[in-house]
Every structure is written in structure tokens, then in C-alpha cells.
Amino acid sequence: MHLAVHVSGTGDRTAVLIHGMMSDHRAWHRVTAELRDAGYRVVAVDLAGHGASPRARRYSPRAWADDVIESVGPVLDGSPDLIMGHSLGGLVASLVAERLGARAAVYVDPAFAFPRGLRGVALKAMFTVAPRPGPRMLRRFNPRWGEDDIALERATLRLWDKRTILGFVNTRPLRSPRKLVAPSLVILAERSLLIGSRDIERMRRDGMTVRIVSGAGHTVFRDDHAGFMALVHGWLATHVVTSAVE
């Protein structure tokens, strides 16, 4: 499936951004602006069932990944210097990083391990059955967001296909990347609903850098944009010499 791809900036380096469930490329608006200022050409997608991209008959992590390869590959001029994904987008980014030849990867509170059992069933039911949250609920669950992010989230929710949550049915066996194809940074919410302490230990054993942003919720880069970008800039400068942010 060909996805909506949004390209901005004319820098010498390229960053691919993949949003999370219920959202679209607009969630990254501040991150995109800062990466552009740092010399990146930013390529952001709307996953199937989100934003301006088509809906699918069935959703799965592998299908989302294949869609990204098909849609982003022709836009890239060689391998991207950075791939960044949030939540569902983090899982998808982990599946396409090697195929795109990414030189660095940042996973933001990634959906490497969707909850199992009754908790997982309850979360899926909540997403598929409950009405789309209004401004009051969005403010309640995201107290650190500004009105611009509330408005953006409402706009993206109107375009979101709720059936996408069913694509998480088989995510557990995927876990996190089985091998690192590039230096990898994982940035987590203070109390991540998706990544537990055992997951953190395993990712660190596998060579991934894991950082937790105090006070931030699931959408870390919206809750604490300055803290999030400071982590990204500092890590790139230290761990990815060829892609260091000036």
C-alpha cells in the first residue's frame, strides 16, 4: 500500500519519522522543525489507517513495515541517517531499520510488547469500543500538552481507523529488534505502559541505550519536548559520530 509521505527540509542528512497509534505525522511537528534546523531532511509517514493514508482490510506490524518500505524507499536518497518511531511507530521502525539501512535509531516508548491477558483485552476493547476522546479527556490524560497539541490530536483522531488496534494481536512474538543494525536509543515515559523492567534489562543487555524521562507520559516528545530533544541531540553527538547534531 502506498502511504502519504510528508517531506520537509533540504539538509544533507535524512531522518525518517513514524508516528504512533491514533496519530499521524503531525504529532512530530516540533521534532520535525528542530531536526530541520539541525540540518535534516525530514521524511514523515502516515501509517495505513491514519492521517491521509488509505485504510487497510487487515492490519499487522509486518504489513505496516512493508508499506513504509514501499512508500519511503523511493523518497530517500540513500540510507537515512536517523529513523525515529513512537509507540506503534517504534515497533514499525524496528522492523524497517535494517531494510532501510538506517545509521541510527530512536524508539520512543515503543510498542515492543503489547500487554497480554485481561489487561491487553481491556486495552483493545477500550480503543475499539469507547468513543473518540474529546478535548476535556485529552487535557485530563495529557496535562502537559498545549492547546495546539490538543487541537492536532482531535484532528488526527477524526481520521484514525479504530480497527488498527487489532493489528496488535500478534505483536508479542516480535519483541524488540533481534539484532542491532545501528546504534539504538530507547526513550521511555516515566511509567511506561508498554515496557517493563525486564524489557529494559533485556534491551540494555542487547546493547541498546535506554533513558527514562521523568514526569513524561507515553508521548514523551509532547510532554517534555525540550528534555526529549536534549536526550536525542546528546546521544547522537556521543554515539553516532557521522550523524552528530551540531
Q: Region of 175 please: left (phi>0), alpha (psi -120 to 50) or beta.
A: left
Q: Grid coordinates in use for 206? A: 542487547
Task: Specify the CATH number for the domain of residue 156.
Answer: 3.40.50.1820
Q: Using the 8-state DSSP alphabet, how is residue 9 labeled?
A: -
Q: Grid coordinates in use for 197? A: 523492567
What gap in Å lies between CA 24 and CA 246, rounded to an integer? 28
Rounded to 10°, the helix 29-37/225-239 angle is 40
What parts of the chain have a pLDDT lower than 50? 172-174, 242-246
Q: Total domain count for the chain?
A: 1
pLDDT of residue 119: 53
Percentage, residues of the chain above pLDDT 90: 67
- What's the sign of the alpha-carbon dihedral 236, 109, 189, 116? negative
pLDDT of residue 120: 55
Q: What distances in angstroms separate CA 141 from CA 20, 37, 92, 108, 216, one per listed residue?
A: 16, 31, 25, 18, 12
pTM of the entire predicted model: 0.91
List the one residue out of 68, 70, 47 whose CA is nearest residue 160.
47
Structural domain including 84 reads 4-243
How far is Cα of residue 232 from the mean position of the Cα atoms in its chain?
14
pLDDT of residue 165: 84
pLDDT of residue 15: 97
pLDDT of residue 241: 53
